[in-house]
Amino acid sequence: MTDDSMKRAEEIRSLPKILHDYKAKKQYLDKEIDFTEALEISKSRHPEQKDNFYNQIVKTTKLLQECSVERLVEINSDPNKKYILKSLYKEVNNIYKKAGIKN
């Protein structure tokens, strides 16, 4: 997919960001918008692409979603590991409240 619309290596490295987002990908492939516009649409719809804070939250969320039963047993049997998880829970709740997010 290296046509005239992608002139720089940076654009080629950014292509997966466009392809990851349905709206940006469709409009780009249908030639409704250019590469730069498609990349901006993708980044606006996926803040983790341009801000490491949100990128880390996405990675942590995936890590927790994939937590094995063995890991849960390990956490339950170790007070230090429980403390780490409780600290995460507490901070997530604090940020949630400070951001004004309601249940």
Overall pTM > 0.85:
no
Q: Rounded CA gap, 16 and 10, in Å?
A: 11
Tell me: the pLDDT tens digits for 24-71?
999 999 999 999 999 999 999 999 998 999 999 999 999 999 999 999
Indicate if the pLDDT at residue 82 is higher than 80: yes
Which of 31, 44, 43 minimizes the C-alpha distance to 1?
31
Residue owning tokens 């956490």 = 75
Domain of 73 in residue numbering reads as 52-98
Residue owning tokens 């604090």 = 94
Quick one: 77 and 94 in the same domain?
A: yes
In a domain, 3, yes or no: no
Both tokens of residue 37? 């516009």
In a domain, 33, yes or no: yes
Quick one: 62 and 39 in the same domain?
A: no
The predicted structure's pLDDT at residue 6? 54
> How many CA atoms lie less than 13 Å away from 91 in the CB half-sphere?
7
